[in-house]
């Protein structure tokens, strides 16, 4: 069933079947404009002093009562319906008229109306012709209007509306009719008086009893048998009072209780519009690297500076880069990528899919992962719809002075079997005051330097409020654009590697080829720039879903930094991309010659360790034994868990961190013994700790 003005009125007046009402209710929840129209209908039908539509004699005009009746009777053509509904949406007067008429008709149809016969005869007597035939069946195009000309006006006076259809006393009636009416009234009054007199009970005045009365009451004494007994008057027999029976208790009325249905969560708005049209452009800057995937062969290529961006295409801002998308409405979306060598943020790449903006919005997109800054040059502000998971956030920037940032990151949830990752979304107002509307609630003001925090597990949407440092929540400084990087010694070669890759990668050329070239650098030519370039390439491969290259890096026996980066990149990919576990497990079986069970265990360890596993002696012993496993990937993952999760303080010990999973057997065994000694001390310290 389509959501039209007529079906909306039927839904509001409860004139639909339950199944149809459910469908319309879902469509209402999906359409903010329809909800606004519902609120508008309720307001205009209650507004006092609202005028009536202008009088129009033009046939088919929205102001013609016949057109309103034909619309409510579904007797208009499709073009006429569109014109009539457009007029109602643009005019409160027409909208109030059709809504009120529909409500009245619904009451008339659903409830029995008692009309006096005199009123029926009088109404049919007002019109002469086919319309005055009482038994005639109405058609779809019967004119609905007032009286023809001035006929019947002379019969009414100022009290006519209060006569409920009865004829009014008027001088226009013949005198004979008036005399007959009054004679009939007088006869009725006289007859009523006589009937009342005859029905009234008569009252007798008590007198002395006569002999005949006594003879009827006292029994006759037989002759010849005189008696000395004195004749006593008969006893006065009082009538027995009726016995009033105690009322029996009525059985309790059992009212069937209607089960309380749980609140229905509003359905999300409709899916994004399908189609491929140009919706934005990439800002003209050569150092920006934004890649897009070909919908036909799935290959990735760079978007040219100033190039057009099409809806339904997945766009990825590679780790470490910044790109700006400009929409025709003046809205700007700045995508941020990051590397651990630059800033300690959980974000690597920023991946989005642009959609065709619905009516009333400047842009619509799906945020898969990453950080976006929104601002606009339009004085009237901008409105953007952002989708992620099952959430739909409508963000409003009231003016050009408002800037907001939205970040979505994902965290792996360790455990056996691995659980789904936790998603965290943070909306913060950089300047001005923004607005947010979700499927469940509307937030009219989010002041500057305050956040809205949402998590997929445990915590619903919270805010607006200032971030809590005790909970390690992102504060205002977290979203600042740093001009000076925290660690210049590491950031400088990383920036140089990013600039070099941006110059090598040409628009519309294969991204995978250049990433492979950046990652596979000759060991003899390794320097800081080449090392960080290799790390960047592995993070980029994981962002683009090319995990075979990342798995291969775990078998690299000569470059430990590649193996460690490959583990971090796989963990980030598992947290971001759904249904990836099976693919990684299959690749591990093929690349590492693992059994299915061993591959499942290895992928499970990629998710990390729970708090209880981190201090479990059996788990720690198993990780230490894993340092001597047969495959490099197994040894590297066990080393990562020991040094990064079980005992992070070991990172400051050069001897422990010198363990090389790809080194010779002697060196590996020596490093494994050092870690065994360290973990024995760690377990002893755990036992010495007082129980909680």
Q: What is the pLDDT of residues 218-251, one digit of tens each?
A: 444 444 444 444 445 555 555 454 444 444 444 4
Domain boundary among 74, 93, 110: 110
Nearest Cα to Cα of residue 221 among 207, 231, 233, 206: 231
Within a domain: residue 221? no
Statement to judge: residues 458 and 564 lie in one domain: no
Contact 588, 566 (CB under 8 A): no
Q: What is the domain extent for residue 46?
A: 5-110
The token duo for 55 is 């009088």
Domain boundary among 475, 502, 518: 475
Statement to judge: residues 649 and 593 lie in one domain: yes
Domain boundary among 110, 141, 156: 110
Statement to judge: residues 288 and 433 lie in one domain: yes
Within a domain: residue 30? yes
Supply the pLDDT for residue 256.
45
Within a domain: residue 388? yes
Contacts of 161 (CB under 8 A, 6+ apart): none
Statement to judge: residues 313 and 400 lie in one domain: yes
Statement to judge: residues 539 and 676 lie in one domain: yes
Task: Please list the rounded mean pLDDT of every run of 10 residues in the chain (692 residues).
Answer: 80 81 78 81 80 73 83 83 84 86 81 72 73 58 40 42 44 57 76 70 47 44 44 51 47 46 54 87 86 86 91 92 92 92 85 93 94 93 93 94 93 76 91 92 92 83 85 79 68 90 86 89 79 92 89 89 92 83 86 87 89 90 92 92 91 91 91 93 86 64
User: How many other CB atoms are there within 10 angstroms of residue 485's CB atom?
Assistant: 15
Task: Spell out the long-range contacts of 635-642 with Cβ–Cβ below 8 A and sequence spacing 24 or more.
Answer: 635/661, 635/668, 636/554, 636/560, 636/563, 636/564, 636/567, 636/661, 636/662, 637/567, 637/602, 637/605, 637/606, 638/605, 639/675, 640/564, 640/567, 641/605, 641/608, 641/609, 642/675, 642/679
Supply the pLDDT for residue 269.
60
Q: For the full predicted model, state whether its pTM sits above 0.85.
A: no
User: How many other CB atoms are there within 10 angstroms of residue 431's CB atom?
Assistant: 12
Nearest Cα to Cα of residue 618 among 668, 687, 683, 677: 683
Statement to judge: residues 74 and 106 lie in one domain: yes
Supply the pLDDT for residue 617.
92
Question: Whole-angstrom Cα distance, residue 342 to residue 102?
Answer: 65
Statement to judge: residues 530 and 675 lie in one domain: yes
Statement to judge: residues 445 and 512 lie in one domain: no
Count up the domains in the chain and report the number: 3
Statement to judge: residues 493 and 470 lie in one domain: no
pLDDT tens digits along 372-426: 999 999 989 999 999 998 899 999 999 999 999 999 998 888 876 667 788 999 9
User: How many other CB atoms are there within 10 angstroms of residue 348's CB atom?
Assistant: 27
Taking CA atoms, 116 is separated from 34, 137, 164, 373, in Å, by: 41, 21, 7, 70
Within a domain: residue 603? yes
Within a domain: residue 207? no
Within a domain: residue 210? no
- CATH number of the domain encompassing residue 361: 2.60.120.1440
Name the CA radius of gyration of the chain, rounded.
Answer: 45
Within a domain: residue 209? no
Statement to judge: residues 376 and 522 lie in one domain: no
Question: Whole-angstrom Cα distance, residue 117 to residue 239?
Answer: 51
Statement to judge: residues 462 and 507 lie in one domain: no
Within a domain: residue 403? yes
Statement to judge: residues 422 and 335 lie in one domain: yes
């Amino acid at each position: 069933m389509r959501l039209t003005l007529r079906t909306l009125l039927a839904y509001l007046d409860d004139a639909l079947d339950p199944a149809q009402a459910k469908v319309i209710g879902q469509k209402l929840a999906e359409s903010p404009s329809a909800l606004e129209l519902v609120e508008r209908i309720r307001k205009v039908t209650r507004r006092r002093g609202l005028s009536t539509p202008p009088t129009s004699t033009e046939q088919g005009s929205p102001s013609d009562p016949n057109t309103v009746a034909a619309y409510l009777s579904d007797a208009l053509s499709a073009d006429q319906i569109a014109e009539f509904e457009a007029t109602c949406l643009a005019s409160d007067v027409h909208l109030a008229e059709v809504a009120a008429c529909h409500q009245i008709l619904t009451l008339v149809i659903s409830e029995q109306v008692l009309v006096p016969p005199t009123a029926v005869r009088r109404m049919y007597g007002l019109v002469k012709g086919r319309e005055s035939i009482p038994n005639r069946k109405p058609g779809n195009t019967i004119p609905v209007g007032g009286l023809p000309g001035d006929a019947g006006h002379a019969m009414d006076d100022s009290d006519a509306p209060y006569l409920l259809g009865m004829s009014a006393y008027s001088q226009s009636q013949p005198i004979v009719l008036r005399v007959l009416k009054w004679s009939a009234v007088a006869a009725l009054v006289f007859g009523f008086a006589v009937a009342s007199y005859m029905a009234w009970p008569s009252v007798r005045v008590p007198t002395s009893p006569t002999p005949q009365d006594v003879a009827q009451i006292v029994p006759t004494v037989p002759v010849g048998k005189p008696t000395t007994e004195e004749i006593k008057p008969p006893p006065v027999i009082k009538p027995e009072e009726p016995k009033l029976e105690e009322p029996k208790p009525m059985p309790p009325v059992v009212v069937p209780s209607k089960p309380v249905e749980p609140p229905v969560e509003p359905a999300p708005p409709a899916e994004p519009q399908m189609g491929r049209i140009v919706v934005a452009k990439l800002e003209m800057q050569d150092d920006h690297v934004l890649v897009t995937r070909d919908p036909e062969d799935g290959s990735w290529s760079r978007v040219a500076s100033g190039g057009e961006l099409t809806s339904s295409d997945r766009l990825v801002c590679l780790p470490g880069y910044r790109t700006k998308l400009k929409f025709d409405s003046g809205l700007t979306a700045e995508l941020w990528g990051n590397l651990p060598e630059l800033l300690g943020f959980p974000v690597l790449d920023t991946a989005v899919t642009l959609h065709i903006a619905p009516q009333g919005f400047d842009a619509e997109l799906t945020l898969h992962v990453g950080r976006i800054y929104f601002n606009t040059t339009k004085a009237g502000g901008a409105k953007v719809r952002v989708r992620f998971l099952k959430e739909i956030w409508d963000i409003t920037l009231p003016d050009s002075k408002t800037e907001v940032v939205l970040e979505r990151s994902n965290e792996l949830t360790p455990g056996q079997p691995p659980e789904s990752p936790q998603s965290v979304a943070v909306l913060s107002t950089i300047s001005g005051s923004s607005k947010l509307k979700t499927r469940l609630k509307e937030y009219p003001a989010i002041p500057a330097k305050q956040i809205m925090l949402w998590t997929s597990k445990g915590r619903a949407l919270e805010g607006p409020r200032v971030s809590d440092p005790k909970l390690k929540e992102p504060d205002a400084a977290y979203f600042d654009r740093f001009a000076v990087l925290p660690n210049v010694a590491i950031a400088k070669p990383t920036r140089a590697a990013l600039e070099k890759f941006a110059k090598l990668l040409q628009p519309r050329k294969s991204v995978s080829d250049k990433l492979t070239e950046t990652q596979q650098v000759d060991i003899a030519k390794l320097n800081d720039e080449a090392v960080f370039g290799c790390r960047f390439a592995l993070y980029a491969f994981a962002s683009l879903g090319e995990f075979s290259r990342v798995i291969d890096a775990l078998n690299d026996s000569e470059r430990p930094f590649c193996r460690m980066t490959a583990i971090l990149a796989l963990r980030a990919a598992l947290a971001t991309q759904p249904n990836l576990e099976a693919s990684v497990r299959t690749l591990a079986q093929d690349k590492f010659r693992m059994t299915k069970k061993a591959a499942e265990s290895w992928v499970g360890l990629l998710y990390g360790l729970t708090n209880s596993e981190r201090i479990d002696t059996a788990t720690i012993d198993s990780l230490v034994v894993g340092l001597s496993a047969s495959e490099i990937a197994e040894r590297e993952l066990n080393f990562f868990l020991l040094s990064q999760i079980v005992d992070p303080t070991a990172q400051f010990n050069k001897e422990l961190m010198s363990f090389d999973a790809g080194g010779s057997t002697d060196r590996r065994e020596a490093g494994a013994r050092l870690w065994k000694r360290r973990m024995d001390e760690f377990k002893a310290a755990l036992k010495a700790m007082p129980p909680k």
